Amino acid sequence: MSSGLLFYWFSWILWIVTTFFMAKSKLRTILSCWLLLLILFSGFDVTIEHMQLSVSFLVLLAGALVLHARLAVIVFHVFCSITIMIGYTGVLIWESFTPLKLFLPPFLTISCILFVLVMITTTGLWNRLACSLLGMSGGELLYSIIMSGYSIAAPIGDKRFLDFILVITMALLSHDLLRTLNMKIIRKLQQSIPGPKPLFRKKAQ
């Protein structure tokens, strides 16, 4: 799937959620404007030294760098982003030069591999979002540079890449939401279950 349909669906859903359901704050304004810029510039490309570059890719990369700079342990998360970058590039190369399409849908396979890689490298929703966005952006750039060495044109940040980004983002948000709901249900059940009664009551003296 390289049409960008998933990108438009999920990005508009996230924009509606951040704009109308988040509490009024500076974070809500920044996220809403950032998502709106991603949607608006998704159809614009620029050419830099024979390399086709999406404007939405630049907006995404800038947001990922800002989000990454606000993390607690920057050095560790930079290492996680580099790991995700190498993994994303390796999966794209593997998908390009192996008959993966004959056995499994490439989009589903790559998305599952990236989701598992993000989950095992770091913890926390914002940490995972920052590392996945920066790592996949760097992997997309590295993949295009490698392909250009073989005289294969690979646009940077096309609709296929945007689909991957939004699918991974929605998967991480859904995982965090389910985890939060699970913890609330367990807490409610623990509060509703009465404690064990003593077998023998102590007589009053």
- Both tokens of 72, joined, read 């607690």
Residue from 152, 167, 128 nearest 5 by CA: 167
pTM for the whole structure = 0.85
Residue 185 to residue 204: CA distance in whole angstroms: 39
pLDDT on residue 48: 77
Q: Percentage of residues in the chain with pLDDT exceeding 70?
A: 92
pLDDT in tens, 8-37: 888 999 999 888 888 888 888 888 999 999
Regions of the chain with pLDDT less than 70: 1-2, 100-101, 194-205
Residue 84 to residue 23: CA distance in whole angstroms: 32
Local structure of 48: helix, strand or coil:
strand
Helices within the chain (DSSP H only): 5-20, 26-40, 55-69, 74-97, 106-121, 125-149, 159-192
CB-count burial class (<10 Å; 0-12, 13-18, 19+) for 116 = exposed
State the amino acid at position 182 in one-letter form. Answer: N
Residue 111 to residue 82: CA distance in whole angstroms: 18
pLDDT on residue 100: 66
